């Protein structure tokens, strides 16, 4: 059977979407959960774990690039459409921050744990502590130290000629799912901006910035320079725009416009990307600059990779 064969009616309406090209693999890890009639929450955790274990990308999980001081710190959040959420930020030496975030949600009265406290909690919960920095990431850091210039690229790696499917196209994994019962959930996981200041936290573990989910409306997630998402409570903004009647595509576009209006100059050189799904399963995506691709997986098509619309092209910068 091909990957595009229709699957039984039980999973009709279920869909999972993810940021970037590695979203295809993450979706494929999440899909069996949805196909078996499982929850959107279990699906996004499974997908995020796949990305965190993937040794091919330098912006999520164990293969991530470190901060300015050579320390790999991981950020992640998870949320379901009932408003339950959990997150960890600046977590060191724990391979699956998304699962720690879920434990924060399910086993503590809190939403966000950071740094040493997050690690202590993870260890208490049975997550192994292990050095994660790869030789490749250490070599990249040593290379960076020759100039020590902090200058985030539009996308994580060179994208001038990127096309959907190009392996160079890597950033935060943001994942949104709707299950067969119509419930939504989302997950977001990253090693953050490479060479960031030690202690810097991006948007990904901040509920409302990198991720927001509401069963009444829809869900949104973000990738790109996290400071812009934090400034604009951006994923919350996308969901609120959908609440006011915008389609996912329109909501993402309008949130990008908001980012540009706030910082027109900076917007020329920073990438900001949004991906959204509404409660009917309709999907939209928009980015400031070209190169943002997203993956869609449902009963009809398992490995779609689509190019988002962008507001600026890289040539206009």
Ligand X SMILES: NC(=O)C[C@H](N)C(=O)O
Residues annotated catalytic, as ranges: 172
Residue of 23, 61, 226, 291 interacting with ligand X (CB under 6 A): 226
DSSP letters of 240-278?
HHHHTT--HHHHHHHHHHHHHHH-TTGGGT--EEEEEEE
Min CB(19)–ligand X separation in Å? 8
Which of 37, 93, 46 lies closest to 187, judged by CA? 46
User: Between residue 168 and residue 197, which ones bind ligand X under the rule CB under 6 A?
Assistant: 171-172, 190, 192-193
| Per-residue mark of binding to ligand X, 111-130 (x: CB under 6 A) | --------------------
Residue 308 binds ligand X (CB under 6 A)? no
Q: Which of 27, 58, 59, 314 binds ligand X (CB under 6 A)?
A: 59
Among 186, 218, 224, 291, binds ligand X (CB under 6 A): 224
Q: What backbone phi and psi angles, to 5 degrees, belong to 258?
A: -65, -45
Residue from 47, 86, 186, 202 touching ligand X (CB under 6 A): that is: 202
**Minimum Å distance from CB 200 to ligand X?**
8
Site for ligand X, residues 235 to 294, rule: CB under 6 A: none
Question: Which residues inside 149-168 make contact with ligand X, applying CB under 6 A?
Answer: 156
Nearer to ligand X, 61 or 202 (CB): 202
| Among the residue ranges 107-115, 143-151, 217-225, 244-252, the one whose residues contact ligand X (CB under 6 A) | 217-225
Residue from 204, 235, 267, 308 touching ligand X (CB under 6 A): that is 204
One-character DSSP codes across the chain: --TTS---GGGTT-EEEEESTTHHHHHHHHHHHHHTT--HHHHHHHHHHHHHH-TT-SSSGGG----TTS---EEEEEEETTS-EEEEEEE-SBS-HHHHHHHHHHHSS-SEEEHHHHHHHHHHTTPPB-----HHHHHHHHHHHTT------SSSS--TT--TT-TT----EEEEEE-TTS-EEEEEEE--STTPPTT---STTSBTTTEEEETTTEEEEEEE-HHHHHHHTHHHHHHHHHHTT--HHHHHHHHHHHHHHH-TTGGGT--EEEEEEETT--EEEEEEETT-EEEEEESS-S-EEEEPEEEE-GGG-
Tell me whether strands 173-178 and 15-19 are parallel, antiparallel or unpaired: antiparallel
Residue 226 C-beta: closest distance to ligand X, Å:
2
- For ligand X, give the closer residue by CB, 64 or 281: 64
Among 33-41, 43-51, 224-232, 302-310, the segment contacting ligand X (CB under 6 A): 224-232
Query: By CB under 6 A, is residue 51 in contact with ligand X?
Result: no
Q: How far is the CB of 77 from ligand X (least distance, A)?
A: 11
81 vs 205, beta carbon nearer ligand X: 205
Identify which of residues 51 and 180 has a Cβ nearer to ligand X in the complex: 51
Which span sits near ligand X by CB under 6 A: 103-111, 143-151, 220-228, 275-283? 220-228
**Sole window of 8-16, 118-126, 223-231, 243-251 interacting with ligand X (rule: CB under 6 A):** 223-231
73 makes contact with ligand X (CB under 6 A) = no
CA dist 247 → 147, 216, 252 (Å): 44, 14, 9
Considering beta carbons, is residue 286 or 302 the nearer one to ligand X?
286
Q: Two tokens at 171?
A: 């950033």
Contact residues: ligand X, CB under 6 A: 59, 156, 171-172, 190, 192-193, 202-204, 223-226
């Amino acid at each position: 059977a091909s990957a595009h064969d229709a699957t039984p009616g039980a999973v009709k309406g279920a869909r999972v979407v993810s940021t970037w090209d590695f979203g295809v693999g993450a979706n494929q890890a999440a899909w069996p959960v949805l196909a078996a009639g499982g929850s959107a929450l279990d699906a996004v955790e499974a997908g995020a774990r796949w990305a965190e274990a993937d040794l091919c990308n330098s912006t999520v999980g164990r293969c991530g690039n470190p901060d300015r001081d050579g320390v790999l710190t991981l950020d992640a959040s998870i949320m379901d459409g009932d408003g339950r959420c959990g997150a960890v930020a600046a977590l060191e030496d724990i391979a699956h921050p998304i699962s720690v975030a879920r434990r924060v949600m399910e086993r503590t009265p809190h939403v966000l744990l950071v740094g040493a406290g997050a690690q202590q909690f993870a260890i208490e919960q049975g997550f192994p502590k292990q050095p994660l920095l790869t030789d490749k990431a250490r070599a990249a850091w040593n290379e960076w130290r020759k100039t020590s210039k902090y200058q985030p690229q539009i996308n994580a790696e060179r994208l001038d000629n990127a096309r959907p499917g190009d392996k160079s196209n890597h950033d935060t994994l943001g994942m949104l799912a709707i299950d067969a019962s119509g419930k939504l959930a989302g997950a977001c996981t990253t090693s953050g901006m490479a060479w960031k200041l030690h202690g810097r936290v991006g948007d990904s573990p901040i509920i409302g910035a990198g991720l927001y989910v509401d069963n009444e409306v829809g869900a949104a997630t973000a990738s790109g320079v996290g400071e812009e998402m934090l400034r604009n409570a951006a994923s919350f903004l996308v969901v609120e725009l959908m609440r006011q009647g915008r389609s996912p595509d329109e909501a993402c576009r309008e949130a990008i416009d908001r980012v540009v209006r706030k910082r027109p100059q900076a917007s020329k050189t920073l990438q900001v990307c949004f991906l959204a799904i509404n409660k009917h399963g309709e999907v939209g995506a928009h980015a400031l600059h070209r190169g943002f691709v997203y993956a869609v997986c449902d009963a009809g098509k398992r490995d779609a990779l689509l190019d988002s619309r962008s507001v600026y092209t890289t040539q206009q910068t």
